[in-house]
Amino acid sequence: MTGSEHGDMLVPLAVAAAAGYLLGSLPFGYLVARSRGVNIFEVGSGSPGATNVGRVLGKWPRNIVFALDALKGAAAAGWPLLVVWGAVRAFNVPSVLGFVGLGFALVGHSFSCFTRFRGGKGVSTAAGGLLVLMPPVALVSAAVWLCVFFATRYVSLASILAALSLPVTAVLSNRGAISLWVAAFVALFVVAMHRANVGRLLSGTEKRFEKRKDTEDGDRGTRQ
C-alpha cells in the first residue's frame, strides 16, 4: 500500500473510531435507571451495566439495558460494513473499520464522555459487536458464559471466561490475524474491567447472582 493509499485510509479509520466511541458512550444503563428515579452510579456496584441495573431495578430494566448496550456495539461494528469508502473497498478491508468501531465502542462504553468518563465493563457491547463481525466466535463465547453462569451463579466469572474464550475460538476457527488480535483485545479489555471482581473471586467475597422480584427494592449495596 502506497503513502497515498495509506492517507486514503486515515479518514475512514478516524470516522469509524469517532463514531464507535460516541455510540459506545451512550449511557443507556444510566438513562434507564434515571427514568426510574435512580442514579445507578450511587447504588449497588456503581456500574451502569445490565447486571447492576438488574440487581437494583429488576429483570425488565436489566434486559432493556443489555439489549441497548449490545445494539450500540452491533451498530459501531456493523455500519462500516454497509457504508464503505472507495479506498476501503479497493483493498477489501471493510471489516477492519468494523473492528476499529467496536474497539472504540468498548472504550466509550467504559469511559463515556457523557458521564464524566465512567461506565460499564463492556460485556454486552462486545457481544453485540462480535455477533456482527465474528458470529461463530461470539456464539461459542455466549455458550461459555451460559455454562459457567449456571454452574457457578457468578456473572463476573462467566463474563471473564467467556471473554478469554474469544482468542482461543478465533485461533481454532482460523479466523485470521486481524480477528485474533481483536478477540485478544476484547478479552484483555473485559478482564481488565473486571479486575476488582477477580480480587473478590480469589478472596471468596464475590456475590453470586440471586433472583429478585421486580416489586422489591433489591439490595442496593450488592456488588457486581
Cell numbers placing 158: 462467566
Q: What is the pLDDT along the chain (224 residues), one digit of tens a residue?
A: 454 455 567 888 899 999 999 999 999 999 999 999 999 999 998 999 999 999 999 999 999 999 999 999 999 999 887 775 444 554 445 578 899 999 999 999 999 999 999 999 999 999 999 999 999 999 999 999 999 999 999 999 999 999 999 999 999 988 888 889 999 999 999 999 999 999 999 999 998 987 765 444 444 334 44
**Per-residue pLDDT, 93:** 55
Give the amino acid at 33. Answer: A
- Give the whole-angstrom CA distance, residue 100 versus residue 77: 8
pLDDT of residue 84: 59
Whole-angstrom distance, CA of residue 208 vs CA of residue 156: 9
Q: What are phi and psi of 118, to 5 degrees?
A: -105, 160
Write down the pLDDT at residue 7.
56
Ordered by start, the domain boundaries in the chain are 1-133, 134-206
CA distances from 183 to 29, 68, 113, 180, 190 (A): 25, 22, 25, 5, 11
Q: Is the pTM of this model over 0.75?
A: yes
pLDDT at site 8: 63
Residue 33 near residue 48, CB atoms below 8 Å: yes
Closest CA to 20 of 133, 135, 103: 103
